Structure 1
Amino acid sequence: MLDANRTLIADLPGPDLDADSARLLRTYQFGGICLFRRNITTPERTARLIRDVRDALGEDAWIATDQEGGAVLRRLDTPQAPAPMALGATRDADAAREAGRVAARGLLDLGINWNFAPALDVNVNPLNPVIGERSFGADPHEVARLGVAWAQGLEAAGVMSGSKHYPGHGDTHTDSHLALPRVDKSRAALEAVEWVPFRAAVQAGLGSLMTAHILYPQLDPVNPATLSPALLDGVLRREWGYDGVVITDATDMRAIADLYPDGDAAPLALRAGADAVLTCGHGDATLHERNVRALQEALRSGRLPEARVQESLARLARAAARFPGTPRAYGAAEREHDARLMSGVATRAVTPFGAVPLPRAGERTLLVVAAHADVGGPYEDHLSGEALTSGLRAFLPDLQTVVYDPAQPPAAADLPDADLVLFATTARFGLTDAERALVDGLRSRRALHLALWNPYFAPDLGLPALVTYGFRDANLRALGEALRGDATPGVLPFTA
């Protein structure tokens, strides 16, 4: 009997396998699940969840997540890989390979054997709403060199990589979580930039690639890449010869769900050449049921050939044999080593922009920072103004602060007197007009911009800046050391 449901990767609503979710898994026998932050709590509880899932689905079930590094982390209690763009700032492929290994060790410790990372998108659009620092940079050859090294480190440590988002999400103005982006580029233009890292991934024999929900009208005027036979079966399989697993990005994202609300994207993606379909209901079991019905109906009608599904199941089985997901304990000594290693990468990534003024002994330093920032898309947390203040006071104990409501930032003229103003951007998305007016008011003062998340804010705002590419603990330590005068060797991995 053809077990087509094994091509579906589902999600779960919470940190435990509740009775309804267990019944759903046992009934439909999906190929695996994808874990989000809501599922990952204490190591013991998460390990139990994973054991329960494999009891329901079988030992060959995939346990997947997005542990990209930087702002996109699902597990937070192990050494944290830096954002890919931080690695781009170091230009160090060995560091990228080690970051992949560190990510893998924190996942395999729990039994997670598929990581939807790294992003091999070449971020050539500074206003890209969903990639940005998740990319290794704007140079396609550097993205290929560093990204493939990261993925190879991950796989060498026992976790399958899921390089994304083929054929490239780096030049979009739309977040595919919210709508369908359109990239109107010729094949020649894609070959020169977006496809360079993905060709390298194919040549390196990486375990899997994830598709992009983007319309490329010059290659397929009808179907987004996730559903495009021309891009999946044609370019990726037949022309490039890729025989690894192809998985879709989540089909609940509105770029796909708005077009195919009844689950028809699942059989369409498989027919186009995908092997696995990621379906995230976020607590709504009916989405998974719709995908199952659509898949079974497509098989009954012949719209989805059984041979195409058998091919996908064989690829998934070969990959599962290569990456079985047997938990490997992540010991204290190894964790300490990896934490030091990743802290060193964060230090080397700090990038100066312009002539950077630093705090001087005996002078008043004022930190101006928003209380909070919006999150969305792949992001699940942010750095609060309070947390940044606490982190920097370890290095600047007399630091004064103004923590403002991002909807009502202060005017520069209303700020307390200070010899140096540190204006921090902790947001991923755009600044308000009022915040930009505040920055304009700082141009006549001795001021330094701390770009803690979105590195493109540094050239955009034009103040002297220190860029960290992230806001995790290692980034805050590295920033504090830089403010004390330590070297800042990072180089912007894009043209300012």
Structure 2
Amino acid sequence: MTHPARTLMVDLPGPSLTPDLARWLRALNPGGVCLFARNITTPEATARLVADIRDALERDALVATDQEGGAVLRRLDGPQPPTPQGLGVLDDPQAAFEAGALAARGLLELGINWNYAPSLDVNIDPLNPVIGERSLGTDPARVAALGVAWALGSESAGVLSAVKHFPGHGDTRVDSHLALPVVNKSRAALEACEWVPFRAAVQAGVGSVMTAHILYPALDPERPATLSPALLDGLLRQEWSYSGIVVTDAMDMKAVADRYPAGQGAALALAAGADAVLVCGHGDQSLHDLHARALEQALRGGTLSAERVEAAITRLSQAEARFPGARRLVSAAQRQQDEAATLRWATGALERQGLLPTLDPAAPVLLFAPAESELGGPYGDFLSSEALAAALRPAFPHLQSAVIEDAEATAALLARLPSAPALLATTGRWGIPDTTVALAARLATRRAPAVHLALWSPDAAAQLPLPALVTHGFRRAHLQAAAHALLGSGQTAPV
């Protein structure tokens, strides 16, 4: 009997599988589970969760996550894959291949065998609210070369890669988590830019493609790509002869959920050519049950064929066989090599704008950073002022810090140490707050040197009147590379 819920990828509320959740999962029998930061704790606990998921499903099911690198990371302990934007600066396909393999090693150590990465979106619009540093760059050919290398690196290390967001999320200022973006481009324009990386991935045989919840009126004036037969079956399957898995972006995102409520989008996506329907309940199991019922109704009503469902299940079963989720522990030597690689890549991606001073580790250094950064879309965490100070203090033990939003503390620190060099950090990608702009203007008039640490968005560097060190990321390796650069070539920043 055809079991359409077998095409669903579901999520879980927390870091463990309770007996009730295990019974629910077994009864639903989805294609697999997607893990988020709330599910990933210690390696031992997460590996137990993954094993429990497979025990409940009674097969080596697909367990997925988003371990893109940079700002979008679900597992944070161990070597952290580099920011795609930083890899774009390096422009080294071998480094991208190794980065994909590094990400895969960290996931397979937990039993996770599907990574929804890398993004093959060409970063055409710098004000895009959902892509930004997740993109490998603005040049389609570079994105293609680096993205395909990353994906093949992942799959060579045993983790299925999902390139995303087909057919391109790089030229919109609308976040599909919140509304439906529309890209009014001709087919010729899309072929010349957005489609270049995806065609390269298809030609290279990358194992899966994730869809975008975006309307492309030139190809389908009614349905977003996730639900479009013209784009999924017509373009991807028929014209490009793609035989891998097509997985949807999360169906709870408002771009789809607001227009196709009550799980209607699931059957439309499958009928259009998708094989796996990602549904994120964020702790609400009823949303998954709703989608399963909608699939059953579509099957009974004839709007979804049993043949289409069986073809999708066959592809998912083939992927389970090709990418088994057996844990592969990472050796201490390999982990050390991977940590060294992340620092090498972070150092290579550093960009200096203006003349940077060399800071004395034996003298006071001032740090001004925002308390926190506004998040949105796929971003789960940010770099707080406390975390940044803690990361830099091993290199600069006399570092003194103040939160930018606290004008009184900022003024007091400047008055107390008028000759100390200052670091002004920007840690978000949603624009520079007025308080930061005002403080930068004040630091620019001091006699002591000041440096702008642009730790997330490189576009911020041009907006402040200070020499800038652009790191293309705010993870551990980026901060160590930044500290090393500020110490000068003669010293190494402590780990």
- Checking the alignment, whether the CA contact within 8 Å between 1:413 and 1:441 is kept in structure 2 is no
* 5+ long unaligned stretches in structure 2: 491-495
DSSP-derived class of the 2:334 partner: helix
Comparing 368-377 with 63-72, greater Cα deviation is found at 368-377
Using the alignment, how far apart are the partners of 1:167 and 1:290 within structure 2? 28
1:472 aligns with 2:475: yes
In the other structure, the counterpart of 2:207 is: 207
Cα 1:361–1:318, aligned 2, differ >3 Å: closer, same or farther? closer
- Checking the alignment, whether the CA contact within 8 Å between 1:125 and 1:172 is kept in structure 2 is yes
1:128 aligns with 2:131: no
State the AA in 2 paired with 1:472.
Answer: R
Deviations 1:351-393 (A, max 9, x none): 1123334436887642211112222321111111112112222
* 5+ long unaligned stretches in structure 1: 488-496
TM-score normalised by length of structure 1: 0.94
Using the alignment, how far apart are the partners of 1:285 and 1:20 within structure 2? 11
- Checking the alignment, whether the CA contact within 8 Å between 1:411 and 1:441 is kept in structure 2 is no
Displacement of 1:455: 2.0
DSSP-derived class of the 1:389 partner: helix
Displacement of 1:419: 5.0
Using the alignment, how far apart are the partners of 1:105 and 1:173 within structure 2? 34
- What aligned pairs does 1:167-178 form with structure 2 within 5 A after superposition? 167-178=167-178
DSSP-derived class of the 2:451 partner: strand
Using the alignment, how far apart are the partners of 1:260 and 1:333 within structure 2? 50
Q: CA RMSD in A?
A: 2.0
DSSP-derived class of the 1:402 partner: strand
- What aligned pairs does 1:106-125 form with structure 2 within 5 A after superposition? 106-125=106-125
Deviations 1:46-81 (A, max 9, x none): 111111111111223110000111111111122111
In the other structure, the counterpart of 2:183 is: 183
DSSP-derived class of the 2:105 partner: helix
DSSP-derived class of the 1:456 partner: helix
Cα 1:405–1:462, aligned 2, differ >3 Å: closer, same or farther? closer
DSSP-derived class of the 1:200 partner: helix
Using the alignment, how far apart are the partners of 1:190 and 1:463 within structure 2? 38
- What aligned pairs does 1:159-174 form with structure 2 within 5 A after superposition? 159-174=159-174
Identity of aligned residues (%): 60
In the other structure, the counterpart of 2:493 is: none
Count of matched residue positions in the alignment of Structure 1 and Structure 2: 486
1:486 aligns with 2:489: yes
Cα 1:110–1:216, aligned 2, differ >3 Å: closer, same or farther? same
- What aligned pairs does 1:208-227 form with structure 2 within 5 A after superposition? 208-227=208-227
DSSP-derived class of the 1:359 partner: coil
- Checking the alignment, whether the CA contact within 8 Å between 2:167 and 2:212 is kept in structure 1 is yes
Using the alignment, how far apart are the partners of 1:278 and 1:438 within structure 2? 44
- Checking the alignment, whether the CA contact within 8 Å between 1:266 and 1:277 is kept in structure 2 is yes
Using the alignment, how far apart are the partners of 1:137 and 1:411 within structure 2? 36
Using the alignment, how far apart are the partners of 1:58 and 1:410 within structure 2? 58
In the other structure, the counterpart of 1:104 is: 104
Deviations 1:234-261 (A, max 9, x none): 1111111111100000111111111122
DSSP-derived class of the 1:154 partner: helix
DSSP-derived class of the 2:458 partner: coil
Comparing 254-263 with 116-125, greater Cα deviation is found at 254-263
Using the alignment, how far apart are the partners of 1:463 and 1:230 within structure 2? 50
Comparing 281-290 with 362-371, greater Cα deviation is found at 362-371
Deviations 1:142-175 (A, max 9, x none): 1111111111110000000011111111111111
